Amino acid sequence: MDASEQDVLQQALAWRGEGRKVAIATVIATWGSSPRPVGSQLAVNEDGAMVGSVSGGCIEGAVVREAQEIMAGARPRLLDFGVTNEQAWEVGLACGGKLEVYVEAVE
Partner 1 sequence: MKAALLGQLVADRAARRPAALVTDLESGIQALIHEDGVAGALALDDAALAAGRAALAADRSGLLPLSGPRLFLQAVVPSPRLILVGAVHIAQALAPMAALAGYGVTVVDPRRSFATDARFPAFELTTEWPDEALARLAPDARTAIVTLTHDPKLDDAALGIALNSPAFYIGSLGSRKTHAARLKRLTEAGFSDAALARIHGPVGIAIGALSPAEIALSVLAQITAVRRAGSKPGEERAA
Binding positions for partner 1, rule: CB under 8 A: 1-4, 6, 9-10, 12-13, 16, 24, 26, 28-29, 37-39, 41, 75-76, 78, 102, 104-107
Shortest Cβ distance from residue 27 to partner 1 (Å)?
9
How many CB atoms are located within 10 Å of the residue 59 CB?
27
Whichever of 10 and 87 has its CB closer to partner 1, that residue is 10
Whichever of 90 and 103 has its CB closer to partner 1, that residue is 103
Shortest Cβ distance from residue 92 to partner 1 (Å)?
25
Shortest Cβ distance from residue 32 to partner 1 (Å)?
16
Q: How far apart are CA 2 and CA 17, in angstroms?
A: 23
**C-alpha separations of 19 from 3, 15, 32, 92 in Å:** 24, 7, 39, 34
